[in-house]
Amino acid sequence: MVTNASILQAFLDAGPEVHLSGESLAEKLGVSRVAVHARIKKLEQSGIHFQATPRKGYQLVDEPEKLHQDLLSAYISQDKVNLESVEVLPSTDSTNLEVERRLANNAPTPFAVLAHQQTQGRGRLGRAWQSSHAGNLYMSVGFRPETSTTAIAPFSLWAGVHIANVLRTLLDIPLQVKWPNDLHVEGKKVAGILCEAKLELDRVQTLVFGFGLNVNQDAASFPEGLRTPANSLKTILGKPAPIHSVTTSVLKAVLRAYEDCQLPEAGMALKNAFGLVDALNNKAVEVQSGTQTMSGVANGIDENGNLLVVTEETTVAVSAGDVTLKPL
């Protein structure tokens, strides 16, 4: 059956410079030219822009700056992203909470939930995550690992590394990972990761990967008083970022990270991969871990994903904590 997503995928497959005639689309999709024209009109009303040229046909010329369900489905289908389902919600309390509810109702995994807005978006340690701009990426992916906690523990770091690498390639920006869960560009935060798991007898039954990325919000509009200076892809690039290809790349990176973190010798591979995108390497830091505070110089991570901090006396492996950059 022809769908909006199948029509959009035909344009993505053809390429941005190619015109597709109503006749060729109708033949490819097995419907009438009238049905094709009606679908394109509905897609235009939903914010996707086509250009119709006599004797040439239609051309996809512009995409919306916020996620469009049909267009995202077309990108995911074209790139063969291996997810059971992907849904874009107009609004939700939290994509992590929504994924938890669906996992509790036995939704097939892995699946993704995205939203234009979160009313209760949150980061690590229960901190609020500003989630009101529809042009940003708020997403969560649900898994059922049914494996040991040690096997899945490095997942968040692996995901940060893979996301940084794919967006570096896609957008040509110097994205780095700030241990343990942030993505930075030149010292300013553009994204955060929040993984939440449910355990039973030291085994991970369900896992939720949450991710927030500042995409098409102007950095000047961020609230004052943020703990870390923030930036957005749009401000960095000087133009709107392609949110659908960004989202598809992020989803593929998350799925790859989920596989890589469970491979044999994954610890050494992570240590090496992290070193190439490490935002803290050789920088003076202050680490707050529980009730303890220490100062030193960050020196990468070990095979378990712990941050290595060189103090005046020794090298400390930090398994969890908040890290702040300090002047040398």
pLDDT at 305 over 60: yes
| Residue 242 pLDDT level (bands cut at 50, 70, 90) | very high
Q: Say if residue 17 is in the same domain as residue 142.
A: no
pLDDT at 129 over 70: no
What Å distances lie between residue 241 and 55, 205, 231, 232, CA to CA?
Answer: 32, 36, 13, 9
Percent of the chain with pLDDT over 70: 95
The amino acid at 72: L
Q: Say if residue 88 is in the same domain as residue 198.
A: yes
Rounded average pLDDT over 158-162: 98
Report which of 177, 182, 188 is spatially closest to residue 230, judged by C-alpha positions.
188
pTM across the whole model: 0.93
Last residue of a domain, one of 17, 36, 62: 62
Last residue of a domain, one of 62, 84, 112: 62
Q: Say if residue 56 is in the same domain as residue 75.
A: no
Q: State the average pLDDT for the chain.
A: 92
- The single-letter DSSP state of residue 230 is B
| Residue 100 pLDDT level (bands cut at 50, 70, 90) | very high
Rounded average pLDDT over 148-164: 93
The amino acid at 17: E
pLDDT at 125 over 80: no
Q: Say if residue 230 is in the same domain as residue 121.
A: yes
Q: Say if residue 265 is in the same domain as residue 310.
A: no
pLDDT at 132 over 80: no
Residue of higher predicted confidence among 326 and 242: 242
Report the CATH number at residue 294.
Answer: 2.30.30.100
Containing structural domain, residue 19? 4-62
Q: What is the C-alpha to C-alpha distance for residues 148 and 200, in angstroms, rounded to an integer?
A: 10
Q: Say if residue 170 is in the same domain as residue 245.
A: yes
200: alpha, beta or left, given left = phi > 0 and alpha = psi -120 to 50? Answer: beta
Q: Say if residue 181 is in the same domain as residue 268.
A: yes
| Residue 122 pLDDT level (bands cut at 50, 70, 90) | low
Q: What are phi and psi of 211, to 5 degrees?
A: -145, 130
Report the CATH number at residue 195.
Answer: 3.30.930.10
Q: Say if residue 29 is in the same domain as residue 176.
A: no
Q: Say if residue 148 is in the same domain as residue 259.
A: yes
Last residue of a domain, one of 31, 62, 93: 62
Report which of 116, 114, 110 is spatially closest to residue 140, judged by C-alpha positions.
114
pLDDT tens by residue, 49-81: 999 999 889 999 989 999 999 999 999 999 999
pLDDT tens by residue, 134-147: 899 999 999 999 88
Report which of 225, 256, 237 is spatially closest to residue 160, judged by C-alpha positions.
256
pLDDT at 182 over 90: yes
The tally of domains found in the chain comes to 3
- What residues contact 204, with CB distance under 8 A and at least 6 apart? 145, 146, 147, 148, 149, 151, 152, 197, 198
Return the pLDDT at 259.
Answer: 95
Q: Say if residue 77 is in the same domain as residue 206.
A: yes
pLDDT at 126 over 60: no
Report the CATH number at residue 22.
Answer: 1.10.10.10
Q: Say if residue 81 is in the same domain as residue 188.
A: yes
Q: Say if residue 131 is in the same domain as residue 263.
A: yes
